[in-house]
Each structure stands twice: as structure tokens, then as C-alpha cells.
């Protein structure tokens, strides 16, 4: 058993590949919006598994659904109808307003959801894909080819061919890149890993119009923005558009590994038997968690809650008028605190010391992506603690 943070760090370094660096904190327990480390310290979790634990930790609805499902039928395979996956697909299409006009392919992660979407676009008979500079779509080879962050790509070249990147937020650049050979345009509605940068107003609508005119698919990566995080089920609903394909993961499984590639209309008919698959995709236990997440968000009015509390949290941070804060970006509970200096790592360390987990997503930006159940009191407590945290970071 790991006995302390230091012990955890030592054993991690010895036995786990060094692909994340060595974390300083060993988390051992979670409840609601809080987690505890191996030294017994409690933190308010404003990272939530990176926009993942939609209902927080150990939510009774998720615990009950997962426990009941694993005791009933934990896993079979996709050789047989999986009734929990069917229910989840129905529920997802329902909240997307796409029942009867879209289909779901379940998988296990965001990268895998984007791999499925990428493969699906190849079946259009067109080979060209447009993606965005600075966007992040995952670390598997296809998803990496879509990812527009050179430091993550370069060591792994050659990557899957056919992808061209255009500058973020530039409608005219997108318009001139898309032509009759273009299979698809991949977009993040908000650059998540890129520092929580929402696309400019009108951009998604323009992308919809440009792709439709060229007969290309519009693929939205909603891995980070989907499932209530922005105060609506999906970002595309806020923009008033329907993509041809959208991908989900993170919040969908409420902490269990679950991804989905959702295709609308004709795009939903592109895959045929033999084209794609994954053993655990839509696994009944993960799917049961997903159903609990969707039902709880609806039953507890969490979309309205997220919209309201996100506004308060952003306003609260801006009103601090701290010299290190350049501004707050984002909507709902996906917020980026832009800093005036590249001290986000020091700020995240100071925050952890004070009992708050935040993510230094970029050197000059902190990401807040707390559980959707974050209370007003908890948000207020963080805002009150922030000036001292930022002072410490500034002095570092
Ligand atoms: N797309 C986006 C927008 C993401 O933020 C992420 C993960 N940060 C991914 C894809 C990849 O998801 P996963 O880590 O589950 O493969």
C-alpha cells in the first residue's frame, strides 16, 4: 500500500513510464467535488479528471448504476446486442435532439472517438481533411495527425497523411482550404488543451456553411465541451448548428472510460460491418455510468446550474482585479484564467498547497474544469483564496 505522497511518487517513478513526468500528489479518495491525497490533505477538485468527473467523485447515482451493472452483466462483446449501450445511445440522441436521425459508435476514450470519426471520413471517397492549428484531438497516431500542436506531433512522424492545418478562428483561411476533395473539417468548439480558447462568434456557423457547400463533413470534437460542460448538452446547440459528426468522451462516462462517435444523417451509414470495432466499446458498466450521468444532469437541472455558476465564477475572478489575471475565457464550467506572465505551474502548485486543484494547461493559462455539481459556496471559497495563490505565483 502507498503510505504517503512521497512514497507514491517514488514508486510511480520506479514502475510507471515517464510520459506524464512524476506527479507530486497521490490521490487516494474522492467524494463530491473533493479529493484526498495519501497524506490526508483535502482538495477542492477544480480539474475533475480534466473535465471528466461530470458528477464529481463517488456520486451515488454512478456508484449504484455501476455496482448493479457489474453484478448483473459486466461485459460480453459486440457480438451480441448490449442493451445498456442501446439505452445510452437512445438517451444521447435524445438530448442531442437527433433521435431517429443519427447513430452512435461507442469506444473507450476521446482519441479513439476521433480515430473512429477520422476513419469514417475516409469512407466518403475523399482523402483530404482540414484541422486547426493549436487544436488537440488525442495521442493515437490518427488523432495526433489531426492535432495541431507540433511539439506533440514531431517526434512521431510520419503521421497519417491527408491532414492540412489552418489557423485557429480564421474563417477566410478555412474557406480557402476547403474544396471538392475535402472529406471533412475537424474542429474543437473551444480549444481545451490549447488553453481554453473559444472559437470566435460566428465561426461554427461559418464552418457549417463552408463544409455544407463543399459536400464535406463537419466534425466537432466535443470531448471536452460536451455533456453539459458549457451549460448546454453540446456546444453545437449553443451555436445553433448540427454537425455531421461529433465526438464525446471525458464527462460522458462520469469517470469510467467511455467515448462515442456520433454521426448524423447519411454520415451514420458510412461504416459497414468489418470497418471498425473495439472490444470494450460501450461496455455495459461504462454505459451504465453514462446513463446515470445523463439522467442526473437532466433530473438535477445541472445545465442551468453550470451556466449560472460558471458566469459567477468567471465574474468573481475578474472582479478580483489581480495584476496577474489578464482575463477569464470560456463558458460554463470550462474556464481559462489568462495570466499576464508564464507562471501557471507555480500558480497550480500554490493552489494545491492551499487545497485547490487547478490545471496549468498552458504556461500563461490555468484551466478550471470542476465537476458540474460544484456549489456556489465552493466556487466562492476558491475565488476568495485566489489572490493569495496568485501572489505566491507572482513572487516565484
Ligand atoms: N479531444 C479533446 C478535445 C481532448 O481534450 C482530449 C483529451 N484532453 C482528447 C480528444 C483525447 O481524449 P483521451 O485522452 O480520452 O484520448
Reference 238, options 167, 332, 337, 169; nearest CA is: 332
Per-residue pLDDT of the chain (396 residues; tens, 9 = 90+): 999 999 999 999 999 999 888 889 999 999 999 999 999 999 999 999 999 999 999 999 999 999 999 999 999 988 999 999 999 999 999 999 999 999 999 999 999 999 999 999 999 999 999 999 999 999 999 999 999 999 999 999 999 999 999 999 999 999 999 999 999 999 999 999 999 999 999 999 999 999 999 999 999 999 999 999 999 999 999 999 999 999 999 999 999 999 999 999 999 999 999 999 999 999 999 999 999 999 999 999 999 999 999 999 999 999 999 999 999 999 999 999 999 999 999 999 999 999 999 999 999 999 999 999 999 999 999 999 999 999 999 998
DSSP designation for 241: -
- Binding-site positions for pyridoxal 5'-phosphate read 110-111, 136, 221-224, 279
Helices (H), 73-198: 83-95, 110-122, 141-146, 150-153, 171-177
Helix (H, G, I), strand (E, B) or coil at 117: helix
Which residue ranges form the domains of the chain, and what is each CATH number? 5-59+301-395 (3.90.1150.10), 73-299 (3.40.640.10)
Q: Cα separations (Å) of 249 from 11, 62, 115, 318, 355?
A: 29, 16, 12, 30, 28
**Concatenated DSSP letters of 244-266:** SEEEE-GGGGBTB--EEEEEEGG
Q: How far is the CA of 396 from the centre of ligand 1 (A)?
A: 31
Q: Does 138 sit in the ligand 1 pocket, CB within 6 Å?
A: yes
Can you tell me the distance from the alpha carbon of 361 to that of 374, in angstroms, rounded to the nearest whole number?
20
Structure-block grid coordinates of residue 326? 489578464
Atom 12 of ligand 1, nearest CA residue: 110
Find out whether 142 and 114 touch, Cβ atoms under 8 Å: yes
pLDDT digit string, tens, across residues 227-256? 999 999 999 999 999 999 999 999 999 999
Q: Which helix (H) or strand (E) holds 43?
A: strand 42-45
Q: Does 222 sit in the ligand 1 pocket, CB within 6 Å?
A: no
Q: How far is the CA of 151 from the centre of ligand 1 (A)?
A: 16
pLDDT digit string, tens, across residues 18-55? 988 888 999 999 999 999 999 999 999 999 999 999 99
Reference 367, options 319, 302, 317, 321; nearest CA is: 317
Q: Does 115 sit in the ligand 1 pocket, CB within 6 Å?
A: no
Complex ipTM over 0.95:
yes
Q: Which residue has the cell 471533412?
A: 184
Pairing relation of β-strands 128-132 and 182-187? parallel
Structure-block grid coordinates of residue 239? 451555436
Reference 56, options 317, 395, 369, 327; nearest CA is: 369
Q: How far is the CA of 136 from the centre of ligand 1 (A)?
A: 7
Q: Cα separations (Å) of 363 from 35, 336, 339, 346, 368?
A: 25, 12, 9, 10, 14
Atom 1 of ligand 1, nearest CA residue: 137
Q: Which atom of ligand 1 sits closest to the CA of residue 114? A: 10
Q: What secondary structure, in 3-state letters, does 293-336 show? A: HHHHHHHCCHHHHHHHHHHHHHHHHHHCCCCCEEEEEEECCEEE
Helices and strands of the chain, counted as H and E runs: 14, 17
pTM comes to: 0.98
Q: How many C-beta atoms surround the C-beta of residue 22 within 10 A?
A: 11
Q: How large is the angle between the packed helices 284-299 and 302-319, nearest 10 degrees? A: 70
Find out whether 205 and 240 touch, Cβ atoms under 8 Å: yes
Is 217 exposed, middle or buried, given 0-12, 13-18 or 19+ CB atoms closer than 10 A? buried
Tell me which of 191, 249, 362 to substitute to probe ligand 1's pocket, judged by most ligand atoms within 8 Å of the beta carbon: 249
Can you tell me the distance from the alpha carbon of 249 to that of 261, in angstroms, rounded to the nearest whole number?
9
Handedness of CA 115, 117, 118, 124 (dihedral sign): positive
Q: How far apart are the first and last CA of the chain?
A: 35
Q: Does 192 sit in the ligand 1 pocket, CB within 6 Å?
A: yes
Q: How large is the angle between the packed helices 376-395 and 302-319, nearest 10 degrees? A: 30
Amino acid at each position: 500500500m502507498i503510505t504517503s505522497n512521497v512514497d507514491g511518487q517514488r514508486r510511480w517513478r520506479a514502475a510507471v513510464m515517464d510520459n506524464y513526468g512524476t506527479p507530486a500528489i497521490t490521490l487516494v479518495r474522492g467524494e463530491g467535488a473533493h479529493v484526498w491525497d495519501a497524506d490526508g490533505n483535502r482538495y477542492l477538485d477544480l480539474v475533475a479528471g480534466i473535465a471528466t468527473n461530470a458528477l464529481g467523485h463517488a456520486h451515488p447515482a454512478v456508484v449504484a448504476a455501476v455496482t448493479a451493472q457489474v453484478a448483473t452483466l459486466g461485459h460480453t462483446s459486440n457480438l451480441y446486442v448490449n442493451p445498456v449501450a442501446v439505452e445510452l445511445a437512445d438517451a444521447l440522441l435524445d438530448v442531442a435532439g437527433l433521435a431517429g436521425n443519427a447513430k452512435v459508435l461507442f469506444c473507450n476514450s476521446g482519441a479513439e472517438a476521433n480515430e473512429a470519426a477520422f476513419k469514417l471520413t475516409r469512407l466518403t471517397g475523399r482523402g483530404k481533411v482540414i484541422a486547426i492549428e493549436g487544436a488537440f484531438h488525442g495521442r493515437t497516431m490518427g488523432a495526433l495527425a489531426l492535432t495541431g500542436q507540433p511539439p506533440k506531433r514531431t517526434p512521431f512522424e510520419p503521421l497519417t497523411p491527408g491532414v492540412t492545418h489552418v489557423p485557429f478562428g480564421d474563417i477566410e483561411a478555412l474557406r480557402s482550404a476547403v474544396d471538392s476533395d475535402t472529406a471533412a473539417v475537424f474542429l474543437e468548439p473551444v480549444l481545451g488543451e490549447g488553453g481554453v480558447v473559444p472559437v470566435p462568434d460566428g465561426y461554427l456557423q461559418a464552418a457549417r456553411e463552408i463544409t455544407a457547400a463543399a459536400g464535406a463533413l463537419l466534425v466537432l470534437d466535443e470531448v471536452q465541451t460536451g455533456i453539459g460542460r458549457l451549460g448546454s448538452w453540446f456546444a453545437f446547440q449553443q451555436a445553433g448548428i448540427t454537425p455531421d459528426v461529433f465526438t464525446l468522451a471525458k464527462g460522458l462516462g462520469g469517470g469510467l472510460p467511455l467515448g462515442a462517435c456520433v454521426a448524423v444523417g447519411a454520415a451514420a451509414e458510412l461504416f459497414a460491418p468489418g470497418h471498425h470495432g473495439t472490444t470494450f466499446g460501450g461496455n455495459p458498466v461504462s454505459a451504465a455510468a453514462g446513463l446515470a450521468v445523463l439522467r442526473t444532469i437532466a433530473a438535477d437541472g445541472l445545465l442551468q446550474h453550470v451556466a449560472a455558476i460558471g458566469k459567477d465564477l468567471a465574474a468573481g475572478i475578474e472582479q478580483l482585479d489581480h495584476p496577474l489575471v489578464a482575463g477569464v475565457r470560456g463558458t460554463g464550467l470550462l474556464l481559462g484564467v489568462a495570466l499576464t506572465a508564464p507562471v501557471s505551474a507555480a500558480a497550480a502548485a500554490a493552489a494545491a498547497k492551499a487545497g485547490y486543484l487547478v490545471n496549468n494547461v498552458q504556461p500563461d493559462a490555468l484551466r478550471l474544469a470542476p465537476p458540474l455539481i460544484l456549489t456556489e459556496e465552493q466556487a466562492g471559497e476558491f475565488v476568495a483564496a485566489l489572490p493569495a495563490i496568485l501572489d505566491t505565483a507572482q513572487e516565484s
